[in-house]
Amino acid sequence: MKFSIRHAESVVGGFILLAAALLCGILVMVGANQRWFARNYYFHSRFQSGAGISPGTGITLKGFTVGKISKIVLNDNNTVDADFFIFDSYIGKVRKNSVLELATSPLGLGGGLLFYPGKDAERLPEHSYIPSMDFEDGKSIVERELADVPPRDDTLTRLLANINPLVDNINKTVVNVNKTVTTLNGALKGDGETEVGRIVKGIGSTVRGVNGTVADLDSTVAIVKTELPGLVERSNALLDSLKAISGNLEQTTAAMRDPTGLVPKLLDPKGSLKTLLDDNGVLFAKIDAMLSDTDKTIKNVESMTDTLKSSMPEITSLLAEGKTTLIQTQDVLEGLKNNPLLKGGIPERKTQEAAQPGYRDEDF
């Protein structure tokens, strides 16, 4: 026989008892949550209209439900009498000069009953009348600031106040996105006025500048190449002339060192002066040759100076352009490094292999 049939009574008893226990547990949970075992304190009030409230409508204090309406009745004066209760946990808030406000939504989305505790320390006894702000007594309490009424907090105004910054932010975002897209398009076209555009634009001009500089450098090198042999030749000639001058000066110095002296020689009729004056123009020829060499040397120096002078602006401009090119290249590289929109990086450089490899590269 199956266990459940053999012990049918126990199984069924357990089944029923467990169900009853669960039901009791659920009821206790619901009761505790819905304050079946808590005490409520009853009060009454009066309103101009009962629109938006009904029995069971919550009474709130700063967003917390502190009580509920238990009954509303239209009385003989065409005003609405309302009975309500306050939860025991909030009964300390019900003090003298407390007021009620019937708040209805301007959009017709229902309403609610707001409770404002009085500033007086004296507590109101149960079943007391608490005035509402629909009547003069309630208004008077609020005007005399005897109740703790928070500043007006119009929901629509608050919503609009919250929405306006949002709309502003959205507008700014849209404008920024638009501007970014325009900038990006301009930058990609290379005619933008922004940093990216200028960078892209600068790349072209820089490349053109580099090309021009390289061309200038080539022409300068060519000029230097052509001028160099002449310069060397002139320098050699200048050195020869200087050598000759140096030899002459050496001879002169040696002559001056002669102990017989220059003056006796000059004064001696058979001396140097006579020789000087009566040497068939040898001295003159020497002086003339010397002057001629000096003149030639000076001319060579002048020519070299002129050549250097004429080359100086080119060298200066070459150096300046080189410097500018390096700065621009650095900017471009910085821009490329910082720009997340330019993808792909720098392509790998391939070195051009020589068509005819050298003998040194071959393995023996």
Partner 1 sequence: MIRNLGAAAIRGAADFFYAIGFFFRVVKNGALYFRRGQVGFRVLVMQILFTGVQALGVSAIIALSLGAVIIIQGSSLLPQFGQSRLMYTILIIVITRELGPLLTAFIVNARSGTAIATELGTMVVSHEIEAYVSVGLDPISYLAAPRVVGVTVSMLALDIYFNVFGLIGSYLVARLIRPIEFNEYFGGIAAALTATDIVSGLLKCFVFGIIVSVTAVYRGFAVQRASTEIPVAGIKSVGGGFVLCILADAVLTLIYYI
Query: Footprint of partner 1 on this chain (CB under 8 A)?
Result: 4-5, 8-9, 11-12, 15-16, 19, 22-23, 26-27, 29-34, 36
Q: Please identify, using beta-carbon distances, which residue of 27 and 285 lies nearer to partner 1.
A: 27
Provide the minimum distance between the beta carbon of 59 and partner 1 in the complex, in angstroms, as a whole number. 17
Provide the minimum distance between the beta carbon of 15 and partner 1 in the complex, in angstroms, as a whole number. 5
User: Can you say whether the dihedral through the CA atoms of 60, 66, 67, 73 is positive or negative?
Assistant: negative
Tell me how far the alpha carbon of residue 243 is from its chain's centroid: 71
Provide the minimum distance between the beta carbon of 161 and partner 1 in the complex, in angstroms, as a whole number. 19
Provide the minimum distance between the beta carbon of 30 and partner 1 in the complex, in angstroms, as a whole number. 5
Q: Please identify, using beta-carbon distances, which residue of 30 and 289 lies nearer to partner 1.
A: 30
The tokens for 263 are 């003056």
Provide the minimum distance between the beta carbon of 21 and partner 1 in the complex, in angstroms, as a whole number. 9
- Give CA separation, 313 vs 22, 142, 223, 226, 300, in Å: 105, 92, 14, 18, 21
Q: Please identify, using beta-carbon distances, which residue of 16 and 177 lies nearer to partner 1.
A: 16
Q: Please identify, using beta-carbon distances, which residue of 57 and 300 lies nearer to partner 1.
A: 57
170 phi and psi angles, rounded to 5 deg: -65, -45
Provide the minimum distance between the beta carbon of 29 and partner 1 in the complex, in angstroms, as a whole number. 6
Q: Please identify, using beta-carbon distances, which residue of 19 and 232 lies nearer to partner 1.
A: 19
Q: Please identify, using beta-carbon distances, which residue of 31 and 212 lies nearer to partner 1.
A: 31
